[in-house]
Chains A and B, each alone.
Chain A
Amino acid sequence: MGEFKVHRVRFFNYVPPGIRCVAYNNQSNRLAVSRTDGTVEIYNLSANYFQEKFFPGHESRSTEALCWAEGQRLFSAGLNGEILEYDLQTLNIKYALDASGGPIWSLAASPSGSQLLVGCEDGSVKLFEVTPDKIQFARNFDRQKSRILSLSWHPAGTHIAAGSIDYISVFDVKSGSTLRKMIVDRQHLGMTKSKCIVWGVAFLSDGTVISVDSVGKVQLWDSATGTLVKSHLIANADVQSIAVADQEDSFVVGTAEGTVFHFQLVSVTSNSSEKQWVRTKPFQHHTHDVRTVAHSPTALISGGTDTHLVIRPLMEKVEVKNYDAALRKITFPHRRLVSCSKRRQLLLFQFAHHLELWRLGSTAATGKNGDTLPLSKNADHLLHLKTKGPENIICSCISPCGSWIAYSTASRFFLYRLKYVRDNISLQRVSKMPAFLRSALHILFSEDSTKLFVASNQGSLHIIQLLEGSFKHLHSFQPQSGTVEAMCLLAVSPDGNWLAASGTSAGVHVYNLNHLKLHCTVPAYSFPVTALAIAPNTNNLVIAHSDQQVFEFSIPDKQYTEWSRTVQKQGFHQLWLQRDTPITHISFHPKRPMHILLHDAYMFCIIDKSLPLPNDKAVLYNPLPPKDESDVFLRRTTHAFKISKIYKPLLFMDLLDERTLVAVERPLDDIIAQLPPPIKKKKFGT
């Protein structure tokens, strides 16, 4: 593996925004997640829970509700009173429509998907018809006294239940009139609260309405008579979310104490048809409020203020015990937020509304393997670059020479020229960037910092020649005819001849930059690409997919390399395939052409192509490098994968020079320390 001097960077003060809503789409097996800053992320549950798409947030948009309608159309509504539809192809917002009822608290699509309901601050429930390219206001339901916090359709589409403050109303969809009002109890363990907020309702096909409320109760109501059937007191704090399985045999609720409870419909005795709802397992995977839950056929999904997206599989529903059966916690985005200028040893950190530029510290000391060296010069915060406008930064990049910084938001593209005069730094914005560059999904500088590559959400790639203080648009690769799929990953060869680009689902395209034409397309693979890189000298393209497969494709030969074929023939180690975070970065050692360096959030790995591949019996994670080279046993057990798990969670790792690595870590404890304090719970024995 070799010895490296490692810059262990922990000053990337990144806090992911909390999760507000999740919506599960059964047809495409995708999960939409909205965060408190308005970001919406799409996870592909079939592709190993990879975050394949995202929509940048906006300061004025706070998403309060998210739903899928009419197959795979995604809608959201928020406190600015607008209903938004997202374009999943081009990754931008299709349109926004004001519902004119004040802030919107809840949104629900009808079981057929052709109608949308919104619940507003003023107590109105509005019905919208979903037309092929827009939504159309249809009518208002009976106005209620206070805000409608939750909505649920009867599976037949004839009735709806709406949770408000202190009561639940049942509406008839045809007439729009209130049929029942069910008053919820404000009592909590003998104490009367000032009001009881119904945070969530669910309408079952047998007419049962399940409500969750702020006094910690899960209650089952008979909507036909308006009576309370059963009440489960499960928490001392609010129960904030509910989701029911499609089969209606189980549901899940999330509480403000961070606990997720699973309820199941079980038969009372084996030989009777009578069934009852029973609280079964509690899951404590969150430290803070569970703001939202979803119920996929095989898993319970929850998210909340503590920024984790937790996917807890239901063991009884999982067919095979593979990596799908493991609990998953997704905290960090599956894209890069850090870029690095190797020459100047600079790191650029991307935040939602600003960029930070840091110079790495240095040391004069030397030491043994495993020693912590004292810093002779501390890391330097060089630049704090705030964006203009309310939009979030989509992506950013610093050039390898360190003199260019580029970033883009949904509406604009920014390019800055940096000048270093001794210790001072001057920043100059390059003006008049063309409009077609806006909402770029990936920005990349060529190795010699003379060219800028921009992948736009329209599927086209732009090449821009950088001159001293200005730019020139060289070329645009237009997408394949008919497709408008956004390109989101780029890789350029160090010699500047080749550019590889991959979209959200289609294969990887390789362009010849000298002739400015498409060179070839790597055969399509069923899982999305998570990282791309082109090796120096050989011009081999290394592609990592979300199912943890790694391919090596020779660009000059237009075929997979011999090593890649061997790997595919033998297969990866079982443990390698069971890792649950995608590989987010690939790089190469300039002096060791046989090495591929890659990392995900929990490990850093060097693949040595010259060594044999491990079989399933071999130990994949070798904790210590062989100290004594003559050790026969160790030599016999060495294999191509050298894995280090010292640094985690790892957001970025790259080679600065032959003997220096930089690792950017973001310890979870530091994130939790920046969150609001959780609800205090008495712990036994303290």
Chain B
Amino acid sequence: MVEEGSIRVVRCGGSQLNFRRAVFSADSKYIFCVSGDFIKVYSTATEECVHILHGHRNLVSGILLNPNNHLQLYSCSFDGTIKLWDYLDGILIKTFIVGPKLHALFTHSQAEDSVFVTISKEEPDIFQLVSVKLPKSSHQEVEAKELSFVLDYVNHSPKCIAFGNEGEYVAAVRDFYLSVYFFKRKKTANFTLPSTKNKKNAKNTFTCVVCHPKEDCIASGHMDGKIRLWRNFHDDRKYTYTCLHWHHDMVMDLAFSVTGTSLLSGGRECVLVEWRDGTEKNKEFLPRLGSTIEHISVSPAGDLFCTSHSDNKITVIHRNLDASAVIQGLVKDRSISTGLMVDPRTKALVLNGKPGHLQFYSLQSDKQLYNLDIIQQEYINDDGLIQIELTKAAFGCSGNWLATVEQRQENETELELQMKLWTYNKKTQGFVLNTKITMPHDDHITALCFSNVENYGKPTLVTASKDGHFKVWILTDDSDIYKKAVGWTCDFVGSYHKYQATNCCFSEDGSLLAVSFEEIVTIWDSETWELKCTFCQRAGKIRHLCFGRLTCSKYLLGTTENGILCCWNLLSCSLEWSAKLNVSVMEPDPNSENVAAVSQSPVGSDLFVFKPSEPRPLYIQKNLSREEVQWGVFVPRDIPESFTSEALQWLNRSQFYFLTESQCLLTFSTKSPEEKLTPTSKQLLAEESLPTTPFYFILGKHRKQPDEKLNETLEKELVQLPLTENIPAINELLHTPAHVLPSASFLCSMFVNSLLLSKHTNSAEEMPDDIDMDEEKESDDSDEENDFTEKAQETNTTDLGEDIIHQLSKSEERELRRFRKVDYSWIAML
């Protein structure tokens, strides 16, 4: 039972994985990438997310391995803090509070206890590179205010700054300038490229810069696709550069291999180019990477590369240029024209992703499930090319059918339109194309919806179009003599005074169809396709239309462009109520009567949740986000929550997700931020990270048995033992990760001292009971077969308050006691 808190708007995954370069761990086992406010740790072998490092309160803007301890990770964020993480265990080690918004983070091995960040000056768009001294302190949160200025007028993107030759110099590029600052000489060398004077040099702008790991060589990428290798830049006059030119569009990112023998570059061509020995003739390609390469990074071990793509994808690539793994986030490359939908089968969020594809995205695991290729044509990445666009999609009949609409418009008069109907194939567990209809309408299709109830056993689809018609499509037997094939045909064409049809909607029981024609709503009987009645409010064109559900099924809701929300009663055929609300998104909850409406105001977006039966909203959330909310959807919960407070009841059955203009996927959460943090950041995960091989099970059991025996003996002998939980030295010893502990010799005396029995143990009487209880529980658990689940349970059953960090897990306690027991007996024998 989760404690009820206030509702907060939270980012819910689907964040950009390609915001910054991904970082490899030293052993190339893990790959780190920023993901909104979090840092995600993926396994390079399995593509699975191993940890999510929570803690920042704003976008994470940079991550880097600690150069002095490769098991730690630095991160910086727009919230003005630098955090140090233990990524193996997912623990936040330290927080350094810097203050201003941090845009990028850099370190190098020679910079002891200081890192470099870019911050913006007072004026916007002017950034400077500063070094931050990280004070040595044992506190969790440390203020790091000692900033020293390095370079001014730098580009905010971390791709435009690079440290070279173990921190001897830093290279920064901006527009047409390359500046190199030498730390030892405290001198800056500036190099300028000829700029816009003529056509040839117009695209000389720098886009990115990297430094050679071994030699004094700077590689810079340019807008026109050239890569320049700068050398001899210690001298303002004698500097020289070489050009490498293969890309025809801008170079998005560059990376040197660990030894510096090859240079990797990528751009809009979706091809990773490897330049060997820095020569133009000797290059290798990895083509067809799917979309624009935004970032390239190289593992410190040198065996892996990875490319981040504009479609929110990270591709892990072997040294021999074989793509080995793909980590795909929510694709947010282009405008979302299909809106948000929920696949009734997988409960996955469905929207258009890669060009011409429909993506199925699991909200629970923040992972793309799969892509459905709708257009089935090779995408050619070229400016000015008019592509076929996937504009509409709808699921019907509990996920058995999927309808999609694609269009391509070269100019005003030429419109290519295609509607495809896909059926779910249980064998292949995927959608298979059933019917393809070219030019289903003469003009743009504005809406399509399936009937929720099969009409005489026939699935029904309605499409509304700007050509003034709505068409009803039903599934019929195809003209096959075996009567096995089925296909969709047009059953009815309806129109109303040549007005453009703008929306369509079926009632919950499928008996009525509402179609809006500009300002007029028409209600049709779905059995006879007879016009039943019309509603007209003369309040502007209808923007949304939906029927009420469950107890409110007699209501029809509509919103207009003039900012009126209307509710009609279908029984009395009259307006029940109306409200002045400029609704940009209206979504009914499929599991309740609730309807969510997001209204747009210049300040921000507000959310109203209401039942159609009463004009009073159930819940209002002002200032949902600063940006315009474009789409929203209710996703049914797997396990219904049971909030009792009125404000939260609407979240019991479904969760509301919405997408803003900048394509942030947001939702509502009732959990407090601290609570969200607990599961990963405050528990030791060393045991869980053991691989569950057959050996593990065998050994695990073996280890268990002596434990049990010991426990039995313990039961008899444990009389005078002190309560270990209360000894701080042991706590500290056991809770600190091994690699940050001081040396064993240093700890030894403290540890032994702590074990010595003090004569004034006042807790001696309480203690046996406590342990007895534990033992009982232990023996109960050990009856269970699987040792693994038992341990997991233990972590769950720890009913801990705020002092969770000072408590041992049971297994550790046991381990410690056993150790002490043995020790003690040995002393006694002497």
Q: Interface size bucket, B side? A: 20 to 34
Please report which residues of chain A, range 218-277, place their CB below 8 angstroms from some CB of chain B when the two chains form the complex.
Answer: 232-235, 262, 264, 266-271, 276
Also in contact, A278 and B237, with CB within 8 A (given A232-B279, A684-B248): no
Residues of chain B lying within 8 A (CB to CB) of residue A482:
none
In the complex, what's the smallest C-beta–C-beta distance from A681 to chain B, in angstroms?
13
Does B240 lie within 8 Å of A268, measured CB to CB? Answer: no
Residues of chain A lying within 8 A (CB to CB) of residue B243:
281-282
- Check: B241 CB closer than 8 A to any chain A CB: yes
- Check: B702 CB closer than 8 A to any chain A CB: no
- Check: A629 CB closer than 8 A to any chain B CB: no
Give the residue of A233, A271, A281 whose beta carbon is less than 8 angstroms from that of B242: A281
Also in contact, A316 and B231, with CB within 8 A (given A268-B214, A270-B165): no
- Check: B442 CB closer than 8 A to any chain A CB: no
Q: Which of A235, A268, A281 has the most CB of B within 10 A?
A: A268
- Check: B238 CB closer than 8 A to any chain A CB: yes
Interface flags for B223-239 (1: CB within 8 Å of A; 0: not) read: 00000010110110111
Residues of chain B lying within 8 A (CB to CB) of residue A353:
none
Residues of chain B lying within 8 A (CB to CB) of residue A282:
242-243
What residue in chain A is nearest B215 (Cβ atoms)? A268
Interface flags for B150-188 (1: CB within 8 Å of A; 0: not) read: 000000000000000100100000000000000000000
Does B281 lie within 8 Å of A316, measured CB to CB? Answer: no
Q: Which of A189, A216, A267 has the most CB of B within 10 A?
A: A267
- Check: B758 CB closer than 8 A to any chain A CB: no
A267 to B280, CA, bound (A): 21
Does B279 lie within 8 Å of A280, measured CB to CB? Answer: no
Residues of chain B lying within 8 A (CB to CB) of residue A267:
216, 232
What residue in chain B is nearest A265 (Cβ atoms)? B232
Does B234 lie within 8 Å of A685, measured CB to CB? Answer: no
Residues of chain A lying within 8 A (CB to CB) of residue B726:
none
Residues of chain B lying within 8 A (CB to CB) of residue A278:
229, 231, 240, 242, 278
What residue in chain B is nearest A249 (Cβ atoms)? B238
- Check: B282 CB closer than 8 A to any chain A CB: yes
Does A280 lie within 8 Å of B216, measured CB to CB? Answer: no
In the complex, what's the smallest C-beta–C-beta distance from B718 to chain A, in angstroms?
65
Does B237 lie within 8 Å of A280, measured CB to CB? Answer: no
In the complex, what's the smallest C-beta–C-beta distance from A307 to chain B, in angstroms?
25
- Check: A279 CB closer than 8 A to any chain B CB: yes
In the complex, what's the smallest C-beta–C-beta distance from A405 to chain B, in angstroms?
47
Does B215 lie within 8 Å of A269, measured CB to CB? Answer: yes
What residue in chain B is nearest A233 (Cβ atoms)? B281
Give the residue of A233, A264, A266 whose beta carbon is less than 8 angstroms from that of B282: A233
Does A685 lie within 8 Å of B248, measured CB to CB? Answer: yes
What residue in chain A is nearest B242 (Cβ atoms)? A280
In the complex, what's the smallest C-beta–C-beta distance from A98 to chain B, in angstroms?
43
A491 to B216, CA, bound (A): 60
Does B279 lie within 8 Å of A233, measured CB to CB? Answer: yes
A282 to B281, CA, bound (A): 13
Residues of chain A lying within 8 A (CB to CB) of residue B215:
268-269, 276
Interface flags for A183-197 (1: CB within 8 Å of B; 0: not) read: 000000100000000
In the complex, what's the smallest C-beta–C-beta distance from A268 to chain B, in angstroms?
5
Does A269 lie within 8 Å of B216, measured CB to CB? Answer: yes
Residues of chain A lying within 8 A (CB to CB) of residue B237:
315-316
Does B279 lie within 8 Å of A279, measured CB to CB? Answer: yes
In the complex, what's the smallest C-beta–C-beta distance from A650 to chain B, in angstroms?
25
What residue in chain B is nearest A236 (Cβ atoms)? B281
What residue in chain A is nearest B245 (Cβ atoms)? A684
Give the residue of B165, B240, B279, B281 whose beta carbon is less than 8 angstroms from that of A266: B240
In the complex, what's the smallest C-beta–C-beta distance from A93 to chain B, in angstroms?
42
Also in contact, A264 and B240, with CB within 8 A (given A233-B282, A270-B168): yes
Does A266 lie within 8 Å of B241, measured CB to CB? Answer: no
Does B232 lie within 8 Å of A266, measured CB to CB? Answer: yes
Q: Interface size bucket, A side? A: 20 to 34
Residues of chain A lying within 8 A (CB to CB) of residue B234:
270
Residues of chain B lying within 8 A (CB to CB) of residue A684:
248
Residues of chain A lying within 8 A (CB to CB) of residue B238:
316
Give the residue of B216, B239, B280, B282 whose beta carbon is less than 8 angstroms from that of A316: B239
Does B232 lie within 8 Å of A264, measured CB to CB? Answer: yes
A264 to B231, CA, bound (A): 10
A276 to B231, CA, bound (A): 11
Does B231 lie within 8 Å of A270, measured CB to CB? Answer: no
In the complex, what's the smallest C-beta–C-beta distance from B344 to chain A, in angstroms?
48
A266 to B234, CA, bound (A): 11
In the complex, what's the smallest C-beta–C-beta distance from B222 to chain A, in angstroms?
15
Give the residue of A189, A262, A270, A685 whose beta carbon is less than 8 angstroms from that of B216: A270
A684 to B226, CA, bound (A): 14
A663 to B799, CA, bound (A): 103
A233 to B282, CA, bound (A): 8
Residues of chain A lying within 8 A (CB to CB) of residue B216:
266-270
What residue in chain B is nearest A230 (Cβ atoms)? B277
Does A234 lie within 8 Å of B242, measured CB to CB? Answer: no
What residue in chain B is nearest A269 (Cβ atoms)? B216
What residue in chain B is nearest A276 (Cβ atoms)? B215
Q: Which of A216, A235, A276, A316 has the most CB of B within 10 A?
A: A316
Residues of chain B lying within 8 A (CB to CB) of residue A276:
215
What residue in chain B is nearest A315 (Cβ atoms)? B237
A33 to B636, CA, bound (A): 86
In the complex, what's the smallest C-beta–C-beta distance from B456 to chain A, in angstroms?
59
A685 to B240, CA, bound (A): 29
A264 to B238, CA, bound (A): 10
A280 to B242, CA, bound (A): 4
What residue in chain B is nearest A261 (Cβ atoms)? B242
In the complex, what's the smallest C-beta–C-beta distance from A327 to chain B, in angstroms?
14
Does B248 lie within 8 Å of A280, measured CB to CB? Answer: no
Give the residue of A235, A262, A280 whose beta carbon is less than 8 angstroms from that of B231: A280
Residues of chain B lying within 8 A (CB to CB) of residue A270:
165, 168, 216, 234
Interface flags for A27-44 (1: CB within 8 Å of B; 0: not) read: 000000000000000000
Q: Which of B241, B243, B280 has the most CB of A within 10 A?
A: B280
Residues of chain A lying within 8 A (CB to CB) of residue B242:
278-282
Residues of chain A lying within 8 A (CB to CB) of residue B239:
316
Residues of chain A lying within 8 A (CB to CB) of residue B278:
278
In the complex, what's the smallest C-beta–C-beta distance from A279 to chain B, in angstroms?
6
In the complex, what's the smallest C-beta–C-beta distance from A616 to chain B, in angstroms?
22
A268 to B168, CA, bound (A): 14
A8 to B231, CA, bound (A): 50
In the complex, what's the smallest C-beta–C-beta distance from A263 to chain B, in angstroms?
10
Residues of chain B lying within 8 A (CB to CB) of residue A266:
216, 231-232, 240
A321 to B235, CA, bound (A): 18
A267 to B233, CA, bound (A): 11
Give the residue of A216, A269, A316 whose beta carbon is less than 8 angstroms from that of B240: A316
Does B281 lie within 8 Å of A280, measured CB to CB? Answer: no
Residues of chain B lying within 8 A (CB to CB) of residue A281:
240-243
Residues of chain B lying within 8 A (CB to CB) of residue A316:
235, 237-240
In the complex, what's the smallest C-beta–C-beta distance from A318 to chain B, in angstroms?
9
Residues of chain B lying within 8 A (CB to CB) of residue A280:
231, 240-242
Residues of chain A lying within 8 A (CB to CB) of residue B241:
280-281
Give the residue of A234, A262, A269 whose beta carbon is less than 8 angstroms from that of B281: A234
In the complex, what's the smallest C-beta–C-beta distance from B567 to chain A, in angstroms?
60
What residue in chain A is nearest B240 (Cβ atoms)? A280
In the complex, what's the smallest C-beta–C-beta distance from A213 to chain B, in angstroms?
14
What residue in chain A is nearest B235 (Cβ atoms)? A316
Please report which residues of chain A, range 138-180, place their CB below 8 angstroms from some CB of chain B when the two chains form the complex.
Answer: none
Residues of chain B lying within 8 A (CB to CB) of residue A279:
242, 279
Q: Name 14 extra pairs, CB < 8 A, besides A268-B214, A279-B279.
A: A189-B281, A216-B281, A232-B279, A235-B281, A262-B240, A269-B214, A269-B215, A278-B229, A281-B241, A281-B243, A282-B242, A282-B243, A315-B237, A684-B248
A-B contact pairs, 12 of them (CB 8 A): A233-B279, A234-B281, A266-B216, A266-B240, A267-B232, A270-B216, A270-B234, A278-B240, A279-B279, A281-B240, A282-B243, A316-B240
Interface of B toward A, CB cutoff 8 Å? 165, 168, 214-216, 229, 231-232, 234-235, 237-243, 248, 278-282
Top 4 closest A-B pairs, CB basis? A233-B281, A280-B240, A266-B231, A268-B215
